[in-house]
A and B are shown apart, each in its own frame.
Chain A
Amino acid sequence: MSNSHSVLAKIGKRFVNSAFVLLVLTVVVFAAMRAIPGDPVETIVGVEAVSEETLAALRKEMGLDQSYVVQYFTWLGNLLQGDMGQSLQNHEPVLPILLDRLKATAELAFLGVLIGAVVGVAAGTIAGMTRGSFFDTLVMFVTLSGISIPVFWFGTILIVVFSVYFDIFPTGGMISYEVSLTHVTGFKLLDSLLTLNGAAFLNVLSHIVLPAITLSTAPAALIARTTRASVLETINEDYVNAALARGLSFPAVVMRHVMRNAMIPVVTILGLEIGVYLGGSIVTETLFSWPGLGRHLMQAILAHDYPVVQGAIIFYAVIIVFINLIVDISYGIIDPRVHA
């Protein structure tokens, strides 16, 4: 029987583990940024001829003249208080900007995960049920291609074909300049729905379609293959025959008995794929000029903007850790044996 006390204890333990993982990560991120060749001050100053005194003054102002250890603990101390510092480029506070960018990424990732999960699970299930059929062969071929194709190449092809040649979708961006949208939550698709702004909704949708497809292709392919394998394994279980033997139809058996069992490995893959989604979102957002966290991170790395890069990576890490926590908890909902 599931025991709510032990469940809470397990979740609490996971939280402690997660906090430790994040702490280690702060060291890695901090060290990695310092290890990259290049100087943020010189990047900001650019090609102008500036005296050594000015450079030193700038470094002092940014706190970069102190030892790495002091810098690290100053940063960590502020981080724990919810202060990610200021951007070295424009002195804007990091946290509000990242939160704002995260919304655009969240919308893209949500749609990407949705497409990936729905298409992947549906294709995988049907392929598994009709093993050896034409559809199954097709799914196996397409998914192998989907896993193999690099994100940047696939996205480029989509832009060339659907934006440039057929001119169906915009080449990039999130919303056209001429379209007005009232700010409610900051999530543009959600805001346009909340304000019943159909024009804005369609405009954002037309911008999000290609990046969402680009982002979801590789995970969808992997989910389809995992689902297929899992369905094939589950469909031969005795309890499937037993359910058929009590008079249930094959589709009913698949829905009630096969799917839930087959979903256990798929949920694992989906959890792991969140990392792939976020990694893919950096490339996809850059490719489609999507104003999200990934593109912002890309620009910050090029500018050696330490606080922004460190903050963005902490964001990604927190998201991945949090989603894996949800995946772990969802096992217990799908499979009662987990809490036994």
Chain B
Amino acid sequence: MTPGQLNGAMPTGQSLLAIRDLDLFFDTRQGPVQALAGVTLDLAPGESLGIVGETGSGKSMTARAVMGLLPKSGRISGGSIRLKGQELTGLSARALRAIRGRQVAMVFQEAKRALNPVKTIGSQIMEAARARDGVTKAQAWERCLTQLARVGLPDPDRVMRSYSFELSGGMAQRVMIAIATVAGAELIIADEPTAALDVSIQAQILDLLNQLRSDLGTALVMITHDLGVAAENCDRIAVMYLGQIVEIAPADRLFQDPRHPYTCALIAALPSPEQRGRPIGEVRRVAPPPKGYAYADRRLGRGGVNPDKAQMIEVAEGHFVACQQPLPGAQAADGGRE
């Protein structure tokens, strides 16, 4: 592995999803605004990756880029997204449709808003079920019932005939998960799947996602602003800030040995009785694109602006950090670099 080039990547052969140096711009009246800068990550089949970061850090845009569901003004200006080796950027609408639902599916933040209020649950889950090749209507219907039962909804027949306004938030999210998994997708992208739910329901939904992942072997990308949720449910965690991945590491390692000052700040800001209410600094305006050491204007205990784009450095096995001067950690890991 060559640090600085693979940027936290594993050989493409093993990965289900491989994103390389993804740059995304939005065309605005004030000119282009960079939303993603050199995002690189990999996901193995069946693996779960948490993407954490604050609002505007680019985590949702990364997910939408994979789905090919970017807003109209969004434009991928560089890099690649490969799913099982197939390049997704620049794919035609028809080719993208063949991938959506069948290979990659999405679970949305507010399930009730992601369900059409004037159509039955049945008609919506059937749309997903029938996306699968060579499925008759009756087979698809059976599959929907099975999947609704699998996500823990009692009386699937009744759910099929219901409308979203007749379901609770937790039930609606279970329905969304059933829709995401009914066509046999190998990758589920969950964008803040529990943010709109009560804490007790959150745990149930996260358990369900984990259960399905182990039952079906589905890989999961979980986007969350909650580091705790990511830590408990994901194998690896990527921390995003201002459109870049600043650190990516196995979940436990990230907590034991965070190297990036922003990660340290995030972990330090985790709610605990004595630290309640302490700010980590304000979100910088997205425009203009960040140059170099974008964290200098936050009081994180470090200074010095480097005009160059940050590089990813492997500080330990599978632990990459984007910074000119990573926080000093285990010397052995640093010594292992070229």
B119 interface contact, C-beta 8 A: yes
User: Residues of A contacting B239 with CB < 8 Å?
Assistant: none
A119 to B69, CA, bound (A): 30
Given A257-B119, A336-B118, A337-B165, also A246-B101 (CB < 8 A): yes
Chain B residues near A334: list those with CB within 8 A: 118
Residue among B102, B131, B163, B180 facing the most chain A CB atoms (10 A cut-off): B163
User: From residue B118, how far is it (CB to closest CB) to chain A in Å?
Assistant: 5
Q: Are A247 and B100 in contact (CB under 8 A)?
A: yes
B108, A241: Cβ atoms under 8 Å? yes
Tell me what chain B mostly uses at the interface: helix, strand, loop, or mixed.
mixed
Q: Does A248 contact B (CB under 8 A)?
A: yes
Least CB distance from A140 to B in Å reads 18
Asked if B165 contacts A248 (CB within 8 A), the reply is: no
Partner of B116, one of A245, A247, A257: A257
Q: In the complex, A120 Cα to B271 Cα: how many Å?
A: 54
For the complex, is B110 an interface residue (Cβ under 8 Å from A)? yes
A-chain residues with CB within 8 Å of residue B267 when the two chains form the complex: none
Interface string of B124-150 (1 = CB under 8 A from A): 100110010000000000000000000
A260 at the B interface (CB under 8 A): yes
B105 near A246: Cβ-Cβ < 8 Å: yes
In angstroms, how far is the closest chain A Cβ from the Cβ of B190? 12
Contacts of A237 in B (CB 8 A): 113
**Known contacts A243-B124, A247-B97; A256/B119 CB under 8 A:** yes
Please name all residues of chain A whose beta carbon is closer than 8 Å to the beta carbon of B69 when the two chains form the complex. Answer: 241, 244-245
Contact B108 A337 (CB under 8 A): no
Give Cα distance in the complex from A246 to B181, angstroms: 10
* Complex interface: chain A residues within 8 A of B131 (CB): 246-247
CB neighbours of A250 from chain B (8 A)? 93
A48 lies within 8 A of chain B by Cβ: no
> In the assembly, what is the distance between CA of A239 and CA of B127, in Å?
13
Shortest distance in angstroms between A237's beta carbon and chain B's nearest beta carbon? Answer: 7
Interface contact B97-A249, CB-CB below 8 Å: yes
Residue of B nearest to A1 (CB): B166
| A246 proximity list for chain B (CB < 8 A) | 100-101, 105, 127-128, 131, 179-180, 183
Q: Which one of B67, B98, B100, B166 lies within 8 Å of A340 (CB-CB)?
A: B166
Judge whether A261 is part of the interface by a CB distance below 8 angstroms. Answer: yes
Q: Mark A282-303, 1 if CB is under 8 A from B, else 0.
A: 0000000000000000000000
B137 → A minimal CB distance (Å): 16
A335 contacts the other chain (CB 8 A): yes
How many Å lie between the Cα of A214 and that of B260 in the bound state? 70
Contact with B along A221-247 (1 / 0, CB 8 A): 000000000000000011101111111
**Which one, B109, B110, B117, B176, contacts A261 given CB within 8 A?**
B117
Question: What chain A residues lie within 8 Å of B118 (beta carbons)?
Answer: 260-261, 334-337
Q: B166 contacts which chain A residues (CB < 8 A)?
A: 1, 340
In the complex, the answer to whether A245 meets B101 with C-beta atoms within 8 Å is yes
Q: Are B124 and A340 within 8 A (Cβ)?
A: no
Query: What residue of chain B has the Cβ atom nearest to residue A2's Cβ?
Result: B163
Which residues from B are CB-within-8-Å of A1?
Answer: 166
Instruction: Name the A residues within 8 Å of B165 (CB-CB).
Output: 336-337, 340
B114 adjacent to chain A (CB < 8 Å):
yes
| A239 adjacent to B105 (CB under 8 Å) | no
* Complex partner residue of A242 from B93, B97, B99, B176, CB under 8 angstroms: B176
Q: Which of A243, A336, A337 contacts B127 (CB 8 A)?
A: A243
Q: Is B106 part of the contact surface with A, judged by Cβ < 8 Å?
A: yes
A288 to nearest B CB, angstroms? Answer: 40
With contact pairs A244-B69, A246-B183 given, residues A239 and B116 touching in the complex (Cβ less than 8 Å): yes
Query: For A238, what are the chain B residues with a Cβ–Cβ distance below 8 Å?
Result: 108-110, 113-114
Instruction: Please give the distance in Å from B247's CB to the nearest CB on chain A.
Output: 29
Q: How far is the CA of A249 from the CA of B100 in the complex (A)?
A: 10
Looking at B97, B102, B110, B166, the one whose CB has the most chain A CB atoms below 10 A away is B97
Say yes or no: B117 contacts A243, CB within 8 Å.
no
For B128, what are the chain A residues with a Cβ–Cβ distance below 8 Å? 246-247
Asked if A248 and B127 make an inter-chain contact with CB atoms under 8 angstroms apart, the answer reads: yes
Bound-state CA distance A250–B93 (Å) is: 9
B119 touching A247 by the CB < 8 A rule? no
Does the CB pair B117–A242 fall under 8 Å?
A: no
Shortest C-beta distance, A339 to chain B (Å), equals 11
Of B69, B109, B118, B119, most buried by chain A (CB within 10 Å of CB) is B118
Which residues does chain B contribute within 8 Å of A247, judged by CB atoms? 97-102, 127-128, 131, 183
Give chain A interface residues in 244-282, CB to chain B under 8 Å: 244-250, 256-257, 260-261
Is A242 within 8 A of B108, CB to CB?
A: yes
Asked if B160 is at the interface (CB within 8 A of a chain A CB), the reply is: no
Beta-carbon contact of B113 and A245 below 8 Å = no
In the assembled complex, the Cα of A280 lies from the Cα of B177 at a distance in Å of 52
Identify which of A239, A243, A257 contacts B113 (C-beta below 8 A): A239
Q: Is B249 an interface residue (CB 8 A)?
A: no
The residue of chain B having its C-beta at the shortest distance from the C-beta of A245 within the complex is B106
Give complex CA distance A260, B117 in Å.
10
Chain A residues near B127 (CB-CB < 8 A): 243, 246-248, 256
B143 vs chain A, min Cβ distance (A): 14
Residue among A243, A337, A340 with the highest chain B CB neighbour number at 10 A: A243
Nearest B residue to A242 via CB reads: B114
Max count, chain B CB within 10 A of own CB: residue among A1, A237, A247, A334:
A247
- List residues of B whose CB falls within 8 A of some A CB: 67, 69, 93-94, 97-102, 105-106, 108-110, 113-119, 124, 127-128, 131, 163, 165-166, 176, 179-180, 183
Q: What are 16 pairs between A and B in contact, CB < 8 Å?
A: A1-B166, A238-B108, A238-B113, A242-B108, A243-B124, A245-B106, A246-B128, A247-B127, A249-B94, A256-B119, A257-B116, A260-B119, A336-B118, A336-B165, A337-B118, A340-B165
Task: List 13 additional A-B contacts (Cβ < 8 Å) besides A248-B97, A337-B163.
Answer: A238-B113, A242-B106, A242-B176, A242-B179, A243-B124, A244-B69, A246-B100, A246-B101, A246-B128, A249-B94, A261-B117, A335-B118, A337-B165
Please provide the 10 A-B residue pairs with the shortest distance between their CB atoms, ordered closest to farther.
Answer: A247-B101, A246-B101, A246-B128, A242-B114, A238-B113, A247-B131, A245-B106, A247-B100, A239-B116, A238-B114
